[in-house]
Amino acid sequence: MHGKNACLVVDLRTGEHVAKIPDIVAVLAAAGWKTQVSLKEYGGETLKLARLAERDGYDAVLGYGGDGTLNAVFNGVVNGGGKSLVADIPGGTFNVWAGAIGVPT
């Protein structure tokens, strides 16, 4: 059985939360996940990074940012074939979706 692989797509506009990336990767590693970090550098890149992660066969693609990041990650995974799990780690300016389902900030 292969290990679980995740791609963490990070929106760099959420600069105050970037320092938490090593902690996120450590928590995922403790749960048995090997995690690749992809940093969004320009507008529209999140969708591309998520689509590439889907096509590369990651088991999960996680968005670390706000609602826009989650939207782009979801659409990138769907556009890439839709087989990876999509997850959200709230870390953006607007986290309405995460708050609506009860994810703590």
pLDDT tens-digit map of 6-19: 999 998 875 667 88
List Cβ neighbours of 86 (8 Å cut-off, separation of 6 or more).
Answer: 60, 61, 62, 63, 70, 73, 74, 77
User: What would the two tokens of residue 71 be?
Assistant: 């939207």
Tens-digit pLDDT profile for residues 44-94: 999 999 999 999 999 999 999 888 899 999 999 999 999 999 998 888 766
Alpha-carbon gap, residue 102 to 105, rounded angstroms: 9
pTM exceeding 0.75: yes
C-alpha to C-alpha distances, 96 to 20, 26, 27, nearest whole angstrom? 20, 26, 24
